[in-house]
Amino acid sequence: MKTLRFYGLTTLILFLGHGVVIGQSKQSTIKIEDFDDAPIISKHIYGHFAEHLGRCIYEGFYVGDNSMIPNTEGVRNDIIDALKELQIPNLRWPGGCFADTYHWKDGIGPQENRPTIVNTWWGGVTEDNSFGTHNFLNLCEVLDTEPYLSGNVGSGTVQELADWVQYTNFKGKSPMSDLRRENGRDEPWTVKYWGIGNEAWGCGGNMRPEYYADIYKKYVTFMSDADVEGGLYKIASGASNDDYNWTEVLMKNIPKKMLQGVALHHYSVIDWSAKGSDVDFTEDLYFKTMKESWLMEELIVKHTAIMDKYDKEKQVDLIVDEWGGWYEVAEGTNPGFLYQQNTMRDAMIAGMNLNIFNNHADRVKMANLAQTVNVLQAVILTDKEKMILTPTYHVMNMYKVHQDAKLIPLSFESPKYTYEGESLPAVNASASMDDSGKMHISLVNIDAHNENMVSIDLNALGIREVTGRILASDKLQDHNTFDNPNKIEPKDYKDFTFKKGVLEVELPPFSVVVLEGIK
């Protein structure tokens, strides 16, 4: 039996597909480790992603200011309220693959003068550019969230990206700031976070890492830090999954002074040619999806090890700016729109991955769930005037207590979830202490059948009172619908005992629990 220590470089990779046997016990004892030198869990781990894809922007976020659906400058008020409740820290836009075909100047100025664009990546639909830079950045102000702009490197130019930076950020007089003022915005928005292309190894240009590293350096050379406190935060298009050579080449060839973050993309996909149903899935597909989701731990460990080799001071951050579940589209929907339902399986993916990110807070400083509305593992689904919150939304709402809190490292021996001779850790967890002294522990039990018991000694933290919330349902395939929008939602959780500083917790099958401890 191996001990899992959820902090820094963990050993979870030993459990993924290597025949390691974990103990048979369904009882686990979690130990609170010393956290004097533990990192802060960046709130930006809880970021989101809004691409011009399917019904994410149009018919999702944006209905136009003439819509009968209540809106603010064309953006649905119910979506604004839902995202405010989540306290989303950042929002990535306009892609994704779409970013490297998007020319930002087509989306500014009077709407009647804007040219159309064919979205060649997602469904071949024609868009009218009615949602552009002003719409997005004004929305971020309303949400009190940081914009994260993905620049066009694939089909754009250095000058085009440099102009976008100046348009959004420069306070003084310049061609681009003058143009911004002509379009009705006097003060800049001050956009700090910039992605230099997207998936340069694929839809962003099918580049070799050596070529992209040179392109990256060329682009960022001409991006001005003017009027941005601390300078721009520039994020390189990073690896897909286990392409460790990509990370190695970027870390080796790009000077750290030019690089603040390196991206990583990983989706919990079992087979790109046969991804399985979003709702009518078997336990076999569920187990395989959980295995792919657990792979995030191994990927972070190995990519981080490469980064450590070239950056021992941890000056460059790992940015997981695309993650989540990806299945076949919902029956009867456009295959290019990537609309899928969101079940308890997605809640497991969300809880597990957020715990992994929290536990690697020393290097993972931002992550972006794909995607916010109506696409892939969305937190919100819409149908005309109707809107529902998904199980993934509820997990992120429960977990928001970890934002900018101090990580509490945990160690414990997880029971196993076994299916047809293969095993995975059934329980994963993360914990933190916020500025007010409140402790939070998030626990996920991915076992499809068995409850698991967890014991946690909280005496070292001086905890005197514990409360909890749980997300659970009867079936893994359960989901919220427009006819039954509240089938799955968090409830008060009381299936625990707390005596003499020791917390005994009962975790139902496929459930997410967040506990709060008060001194």
Q: Which residues are catalytic?
A: 199, 322
| Residue keyed to tokens 């089909």 | 155
Query: 81 with 109: CB under 8 angstroms?
Result: no
Which is nearest to 188 in space by CA: 130, 229, 249, 245? 229
Cα distance between residue 476 and residue 391, in whole Å: 11
Q: Comparing C-alpha atoms, which of 48, 79, 88, 51 is closest to residue 385? A: 79
d(CA 290, CA 294): 6
- CA 78-469-413 angle, 5° bins: 130
DSSP 122-181: TTTEEE---S-HHHHHHHHHHHT-EEEEEE--SSS-HHHHHHHHHHHH--S--HHHHHHH
Name the strand (E) or helix (H) holding 466. Answer: strand 465-471
d(CA 386, CA 363): 39
For 20-145, strand residue ranges (E) read 27-32, 47-49, 71-72, 75-76, 90-93, 117-119, 125-127
The DSSP secondary-structure symbol of 162 reads H
Question: 495 is written with which tokens?
Answer: 């299936």
19: left (phi over 0), alpha (psi -120 to 50) or beta: left
Q: What's CA 371's distance to the chain center, in Å?
A: 8
d(CA 24, CA 281): 27
Comparing CA positions, the residue from 202, 198, 143 lying closest to residue 322 is 198
In whole angstroms, give the CA distance from residue 198 to residue 370: 14
Give the Cα separation of 86 and 95 in Å (integer).
21
Beta strands in 139-221 (DSSP E): 146-151, 193-196
E strands, 214-363, are 233-240, 261-268, 317-325
The one-letter code for the residue type at 23 is G
Q: Helix 209-221 and helix 158-169: axis angle, to 10°?
A: 40
Residues 54/338, Cβ–Cβ less than 8 Å: yes
User: The dihedral of CA 357, 349, 139, 186: what is its sign?
Assistant: positive
